[in-house]
Amino acid sequence: MIHAVAVASHGLAQGPLVTRLPDGRLVVAAGGRRVTGRPLTARQTTGWKAAAGALIALASAFTAPGVSAQTLLNVSYDPTRELYRDYNAWFADWWEAQGNPRPTLQTSHGGSGAQARAVIDGLGAHVVTLALASDIDAIASRTDLIPEDWQSLLPHNASPYTSTIVLLVREGNPRDIQDWNDLIREDVAVITPNPKTSGGARWNYLAAWAYAERNGLDPREFVADIYRNVPVLDTAARGSTTTFAQRGIGDVLLAWENEAYLALKELGEDQFDIIVPSVSVLAEPPVALVEGNLGDDATRALATAYLEQLYSPEAQAMALRHFYRAWDTSAADPEDVARFPELERLTIEDFGGWAVVQPEHFGDGGIFDQIYVGQ
């Protein structure tokens, strides 16, 4: 039997009855937490009031959180699901061990840019863990939810784990692709998503740009030559992986390192090889508190701990296990650490920071758009 109760702090809650208190109040289990409140009286539950109450209860049962101190919504991007599933389970235990009630941890996954847009448009995220700093910058500049200096509030540019861009080729590397300059050869077809719609693809583009600068080539021309070899421009990283791995299109896939390892694991290690180029980028998927959505101190404490614990040895080991490069290897399986070869990685600061790079390269009419106007 579902009971509806009125709770002083946030209206109504509804759920199976847990227990009746002597003072007449009820405890119900609502959305994984226990709520104590006065039962709605018969008079309250008659007529349109009942309808309205039920509607509100229904709505709040389904809607974005913000209702309870013990609920936390992490708005993340696509390939982090496994990582945050493990981390949420670990963190819930840890938080409970600190003497707190067990929290309800919710996650939302989607394209990084679309997720940032959802937060701007009102999705009640408490923390964001996105692919690009520029996506969190967008939230900070378009709303009051996140302070402008968010990236200095947590260690390592607020990036608990990092990745890089590597080249995935077919087994045995039949086209003998060793570095970025092989991608402009006429006999090589390159698969990469569209940097306009995929955050990861911006790193692909920048890594190629960095190589050209390092080797005294005209980066604009070099990058344009690579995109001339791209037969299919998928909208997201996953689409490109499918095009390359399952449709058999192209000779080389430009991919996030963690995605390349994941693809290897899921689609067959004997089909592809990972080639590490001479220079690549330090891709930093950053995290931030969404200050404006925290509501009360309890939520703030929970959300703060959630992000801080991402830097704990246990969480870092988890990130390493999920093919991210993490900072603290003390608790990690040595095998997970040894997987990653050393290579020179340029940071976004080497390109002038996202505030410069985003409009100049990927904005409307930017350098990437010009590649396709010139054709």
Partner 1 sequence: MTDTPAIPARPRPFRPATTEPALVKWSLIGLCLAVLTVLLFAPLYAVFDEALRRGWAFALASLSEPDAQSAIRLTLLVAAITVPLNAAFGIAAAWAITKFDWRGKAWVITFIDLPFSISPVVAGLLFILMFGANSALGMWLVANGLPVVFAVPGIVLATMFITFPFVARELIPVMLEQGRAEEEAALTLGASGWRTFLTVTLPNIRWALLYGVLLCNARAMGEFGAVAVVSGKIRGQTTTMPLMIEMFYNEYLSVAAFTMAGVLALLALVTLTLKSALEWRYADQLAATHRH
Partner 2 sequence: MAARTFSVRAPTPMPGWGLSFGIMLTMLSVVVLIPMAVLLWRGFVGFGAAGMWEVVNRPRVWNALELSFRAALIASLFNLVFGVLLAWVLVRYRFPGKRIVDAAVDLPFALPTAVAGIALTAIYAPNGMFGSALMQSFGLRVAYTEIGIWIALIFVGLPFVVRTVQPVIEEIDRETEEASATLGASRLRTLTHVILPMLAPAALTGFALALARSVGEYGSVIFIAGNLPNVTEIAPLLIVIRLEEFDYDGAVAIAIAMLVISFALLLAINLIQIWSRRRMGAA
Q: Where are the beta strands (DSSP E) in the chain?
A: 2-6, 12-20, 26-30, 33-39, 71-77, 104-110, 127-129, 161-162, 165-170, 190-191, 252-256, 272-275, 279-281, 287-289, 325-326, 344-346
Instruction: Show the binding pattern over residues 263-302: x = contacts partner 1 (CB under 8 A), - = does not.
Output: x-xxx-----------------------------------
11 near 68, Cβ under 8 Å? no
d(CA 129, CA 322): 15
Among 13, 167, 233, 237, binds partner 2 (CB under 8 A): 233
- Residues of this chain, 121-180, that bind partner 1 according to CB under 8 A: 121-124, 143
Among 62, 216, 297, 374, binds partner 1 (CB under 8 A): 62
82: tokens are 């496994």
Say which residues have a Cβ less than 8 Å from residue 185's Cβ, sequence separation at least 6: 175, 229
Residue 363 found at the interface with partner 2 (CB under 8 A): yes
d(CA 237, CA 145): 28
Shortest Å, Cβ 266 to partner 1: 4
Shortest Å, Cβ 168 to partner 2: 17
112 alpha-carbon distance from chain centroid: 6
Maximum C-alpha span of the chain: 81
Among 239, 292, 313, 353, binds partner 2 (CB under 8 A): 239
Among 34, 38, 117, 156, binds partner 2 (CB under 8 A): 117
d(CA 15, CA 62): 12
18 near 33, Cβ under 8 Å? no
44: tokens are 């309250």
Among 7, 54, 120, 275, binds partner 2 (CB under 8 A): 120
C-beta of 181 vs 240, nearer to partner 1: 240
Shortest Å, Cβ 127 to partner 2: 20
d(CA 320, CA 326): 6
C-beta of 2 vs 114, nearer to partner 1: 114
Residue 232, binding choice from partner 2, partner 1, none, Cβ under 5 to 8 Å by partner class: partner 2
Instruction: Show the binding pattern over residues 169-188: x = contacts partner 2 (CB under 8 A), - = does not.
Output: --------------------
Shortest Å, Cβ 17 to partner 1: 21
Contact residues for partner 2 (CB under 8 A)?
Answer: 111, 113-114, 116-117, 120, 138, 142, 194, 196-197, 230-235, 239, 242, 246-249, 362-364, 369, 372-373, 375
